[in-house]
A = this chain, B = another copy of it.
Amino acid sequence: MLGQMMNMELTVNSLIDHAARYHGDAEIVSIGTDGNPSRSDWATVSERSRQLASALRTAGYVQGDRCATICWNNVGHLECYLGISGGGMVCHTINPRLFPEQLVYVINNAQDKVIFFDKTFLTIVSNIRDRLETVEKFVLMSEPDEEIAAQFPGLLFYEEFLQRGTPNANWPEIAENQASSLCYTSGTTGNPKGVLYSHRSTVLHALVAAQPDALNLSARDVVMPVVPMFHVNAWGVPYITAMVGAKLVLPGPGLDGQSLVKLIDSESVTIALGVPTIWQGLLSALDELGSSAQSLKRTVIGGSACPPSMMSEFRGKYGVEVVHAWGMTETSPIGTVNALLSKHNTLSEEGRNKIRESQGRPPYGVQLKIVGEDGHQLPEDGIAQGNLRIRGHWVVADYFGVEPNQTLEEDGWFETGDVASINDDGFMTIRDRSKDIIKSGGEWISTVELEGIAMGHSAINEAAVVAASHDKWDERPILLAVKIPDANITEEELLAHYQGKVAKWQIPDRAIFVEGLPRNATGKVLKNKLRSEYGEVLVSKPAS
């Protein structure tokens, strides 16, 4: 027996329609590639994204066609998000920081037909253009510019391209299981893999992400996604803010601490979202500028483990709540969010902070488990650690462009590549990537924990722990650390800092000071690079 309720589709266009009608004058503040701010609102973004969908249709594109973007977080990018998906095409957001070979790979793999890109990326696009097999149109996000046009034969200009469409044109009918957007993983552990989101998965993800125990977004929030719109759809923020009608602040290319602080203060940002490295810069800038980030209530931190010292600085010094979250491109991305339970009220502040350090618990809609090497489920007692698996409404089923039924495990779950423990309340702690964890004399050592301790030292800015080969123990941890400018610290002092914080046998064998850490396109440390450079430092050299 079927229910007798209205059948409607969960689509991206219904999100923008809601924002346009009920929050039409809520602002979208956007920093352009030239560093200048502009102001729009949801009504205008709706009108222009409908026009974009119509322009694409006029240009001959049909539902399912991939249209790519290489843009900063700005209002033009937002219009592309909504116009492309709303029009039934697939919005493929590309990370401009990928290496040129990776860029060529993902564009050809996705079979993109159009690329919308910001001026900043003109040279990048120009340089790879000849190797792109399917792209028919290159659209620069700007007013027409003859000088640029002369350098790039056939180049189209966004404002001109828009004119081919009807403002406020009707959306097409879209079924909720149709693809809405495509994003590739960060390429930390290999070639980026494509994840093809559906309208339904995007809307369900947004419905959950807005909840009090997730990102907790209302129409009274001013939301600044620092996490790039080319990285897992800026964690869904464009969709979620449309759904709840929040004001959106898009910081454009200026992701340095000072620019962000100024924007937070001038636009009264209440919640900002980004990866830990970004917040490191922000915290220094707050100090330098003497800002107290008055309006800021929460930062959501994910993408890499948030060092405990960062949480206490935000909370203790600025009264800013830190919400630690974990996710992946493959999970839209929200997998867990750290929101305390009632029973944690009875803990000491220290006890609560310990819980806040974990990556949190899954919201309704996703489930987690950890398994051993043989695929057997492990106990969720906060101690056992194993390979983390996930399933849920917004979790990948098949990677884009690979054989079907190759992506999931036999049990139908997705294996994350992360090693984690889960406690009996379901709070999950990432111990490591399975490729990064250190196996020393049969025992596992979490590099994430060792890095967090190093970053808690006042002289240390960045830290990475990797495995180095060892004659006796097979692998031993070594620490690569970047000092804060002008800091004075010796290897011995830094290693002494671990005393009493972890078991003796977990303390790194060496601390090596370096100028910087190699990072990939989303700011994650490339540990394979570090391993190939430093992996042999502990091995006794043969007498030469």
Contact = CB atoms under 8 A, between A and B. Distances in A.
Interface of A: 1-8, 10, 14-15, 18, 21-23, 25-26, 63-64, 90, 177-180, 195-201, 204, 207-208, 210-213, 216-220, 222, 243-245, 247, 332, 339-343, 345, 361-362, 364, 367, 391-400, 414, 425-426
A35 B167 CA distance: 63
B15 A364 contact: yes
A394 to B, nearest CB: 6
A4 B179 contact: yes
Contact of A211 (B26, B199, B210, B222): B210
B23 A341 contact: yes
A222 B213 CA distance: 14
Contacts of A392: 6, 8
A244 B394 contact: no
Nearest to A270: B342
Given A247-B342, A342-B26, A90 B217 contact: no
B396 A339 contact: no
Nearest to A7: B397
Nearest to A65: B1
Given A15-B364, A18-B364, A361-B22, A341 B3 contact: no
Nearest to A427: B22
Contacts of A3: 177-180, 196-201
Q: Report the 7 A-B pairs with minimum CB-CB distance, sorted nearest first.
A: A3-B198, A1-B64, A212-B218, A5-B201, A207-B207, A22-B426, A4-B196
A273 to B, nearest CB: 16
B220 A341 contact: yes
B212 A393 contact: no
Contacts of A63: 1
A301 to B, nearest CB: 19
Nearest to A27: B342
B178 A6 contact: no
A219 B210 CA distance: 14
A6 B395 contact: yes
Contacts of A244: 211-213, 364
A220 B4 CA distance: 34
Contacts of A340: 219-220
A263 B357 CA distance: 35
Nearest to A408: B6
A208 B64 CA distance: 29
A91 to B, nearest CB: 12
Given A2-B177, A177-B3, A361-B22, A212 B216 contact: yes
A4 B339 contact: no
Contacts of A200: 3, 5
Given A5-B197, A26-B341, 13 more contacts: A1-B196, A2-B178, A3-B180, A6-B396, A8-B393, A14-B364, A15-B364, A22-B362, A25-B343, A212-B216, A219-B342, A220-B341, A244-B364
Nearest to A208: B207
Nearest to A14: B364
Contacts of A5: 196-198, 200-201, 332, 393-397
B426 A4 contact: no
A425 B398 CA distance: 42
A143 to B, nearest CB: 31
29 contacts: A1-B179, A2-B178, A3-B199, A3-B200, A4-B196, A4-B198, A5-B197, A5-B198, A5-B393, A5-B395, A6-B394, A6-B414, A7-B397, A8-B391, A14-B364, A22-B362, A23-B341, A207-B207, A207-B364, A210-B211, A210-B212, A211-B212, A212-B217, A212-B244, A213-B219, A218-B339, A219-B341, A245-B341, A247-B342
A325 to B, nearest CB: 15
B4 A396 contact: yes
A398 B219 contact: no
A196 B2 CA distance: 8
Nearest to A380: B21
B364 A243 contact: yes
Nearest to A1: B64
Most buried by B among A6, A177, A247, A395: A6
A179 B2 contact: yes
A197 B3 CA distance: 5
Contacts of A218: 211-213, 339
B6 A397 contact: yes
A448 to B, nearest CB: 23
Most buried by B among A22, A204, A222, A391: A22
Contacts of A222: 342
Nearest to A3: B198
Contacts of A361: 22
A394 B1 CA distance: 17
A370 to B, nearest CB: 14
A6 B391 contact: yes
A4 B212 contact: no
A423 B238 CA distance: 26
